[in-house]
Amino acid sequence: MPIPTLDNKNNFKQYLRYFRNKFDSQIQQIELSHLEAIMPTRDQTIPSNTNINLVLFDNKEVVDLSIPLNNTGYIYFPAVEGDEINILWENEIYTIGFSQGFQSLKFKGTDYSLNQSFTIGSRVLKVKGLGGGLVEVSNAPTYTLTQDTTLVDEGQTVTFTVTTTDVSDGTNISFQVVGGPNFNNEDIETTSYASTPDMSGSVAVNNNSAVIDIDIRADYSSSEIQEYFTLKIFDFAGNTVATSPTIFFNDTSNAVYSIGVNPTYNEGDTVNVLVSTTGVPDGVQFYWDIPETTVDAYDILSLSGTVTINQGVGSFDVVTKGDFNTETGETFVINLRNYSSTSSIVATSSTINLVDVPYTITMVPDKTTIVESTKDSQSDLIITVTTSGVANGTLYPGAWINGSYDTDDVSPPAGIVYPPPPEFPSSIVVENNQASFTVNIVRDAKTEGTEVLTIILKNDDNVIVATSPDINIVDTSFIGSRHNGRTFGPIQINREDDSSAWHPYQVPIGDWYTYCDLDKVPNNSKIAIFIDTSGSMTMGTVQGAYDLMTQKLTARGITYITIQNNDEDWITPFDIPLD
Mean pLDDT value across residues 499-528: 69
Mean pLDDT of the chain: 80
Please give the radius of gyration of the chain, using alpha carbons only, rounded to the nearest integer.
44
Mean pLDDT value across residues 489-511: 57
d(CA 141, CA 539): 88
- What residues have CB less than 8 Å from 262, skipping those under 6 apart? 271, 272, 352
d(CA 128, CA 517): 93
d(CA 71, CA 139): 10
Give pLDDT, residue 351.
Answer: 95
Mean pLDDT value across residues 200-213: 92
d(CA 533, CA 537): 6
Mean pLDDT value across residues 540-553: 87
Give pLDDT, residue 374.
Answer: 73
Give pLDDT, residue 331.
Answer: 93
Instruction: Return the higher-pLDDT residue of 460 and 273.
Output: 273
Percent of the chain past pLDDT 90, that is, above it, reads 33
Is the pLDDT at 480 greater than 50, yes or no?
Answer: no
Q: Is the dihedral of CA 240, 203, 340, 221 positive or negative?
A: positive
d(CA 142, CA 167): 8
d(CA 193, CA 297): 37
Q: Is 528 helix (H, G, I), strand (E, B) or coil?
A: strand
pLDDT digits 0-9 by tens, 137-154: 998 889 999 999 999 888
Is the pLDDT at 246 greater than 70, yes or no?
Answer: yes
Buried residues in 502-515 as b, exposed as e (16+ CB within 10 A): ebeeeeebbebbee
Instruction: Return the higher-pLDDT residue of 138 and 357.
Output: 138
Q: 480 with 447: CB under 8 angstroms? A: yes
d(CA 475, CA 485): 17
Q: 476 with 375: CB under 8 angstroms? A: no
Q: Is 49 helix (H, G, I), strand (E, B) or coil?
A: coil
Give pLDDT, residue 420.
Answer: 36
Is the pLDDT at 276 greater than 90, yes or no?
Answer: yes
Give pLDDT, residue 404.
Answer: 46
Query: Which of 23-27, 60-64, 289-293, 532-536 comes out lowest in average pLDDT?
Result: 532-536
Name the helix (H) or strand (E) containing 69. Answer: helix 66-71
DSSP character for 59? T
Give pLDDT, residue 490.
Answer: 56
Give all domains of the chain, ordered by start, each with its CATH number: 9-139 (no CATH), 142-250 (2.60.40.2410), 263-355 (2.60.40.2030), 360-480 (2.60.40.1930), 512-574 (no CATH)
Q: Is 38 helix (H, G, I), strand (E, B) or coil?
A: helix
> What are the C-alpha distances in Å from 474 to residues 271, 372, 441, 445, 480?
51, 6, 10, 12, 11
Q: How confident is the model at residue 6 (pLDDT cuts 50, 70, 90)?
A: low
Give pLDDT, residue 416.
Answer: 35
Is the pLDDT at 407 greater than 60, yes or no?
Answer: no
List residues bridging with 120 in a β-sheet: 123
d(CA 510, CA 514): 9
By CB atoms closer than 10 A (0-12, 13-18, 19+), residue 200 is middle
Give pLDDT, residue 7.
Answer: 65
d(CA 177, CA 228): 10
Q: Which amino acid is at 242?
A: A
- What residues have CB less than 8 Å from 41, skipping those under 6 apart? 102, 114, 129, 130, 131
- Cα angle 292, 285, 255; round to 5: 95
Mean pLDDT value across residues 266-276: 91
Q: 426 with 414: CB under 8 angstroms? A: yes
> What are the C-alpha distances in Å from 485 to residues 174, 321, 335, 530?
91, 59, 76, 17
Query: Which of 206-210, 262-266, 541-545 comes out lowest in average pLDDT?
Result: 541-545
Give pLDDT, residue 22.
Answer: 78
Percent of the chain past pLDDT 70, that is, above it, reads 80
Give pLDDT, residue 533.
Answer: 76
Instruction: Return the higher-pLDDT residue of 28 and 379.
Output: 28
Count CB-CB contacts under 10 A for residue 532.
Answer: 16
The secondary structure of 368-394 as a DSSP string is SEEEPP-SS--EEEEEEEEEES--TTE
Mean pLDDT value across residues 265-284: 90
Is the pLDDT at 556 greater than 80, yes or no?
Answer: yes
Q: How confident is the model at residue 93 (pLDDT cuts 50, 70, 90)?
A: very high
Query: Which of 106-110, 320-324, 535-539, 561-565 comes out lowest in average pLDDT?
Result: 535-539
Give pLDDT, residue 449.
Answer: 66
Give pLDDT, residue 427.
Answer: 64
pLDDT digits 0-9 by tens, 277-322: 988 889 989 999 999 888 877 788 889 999 999 999 999 999 988 7
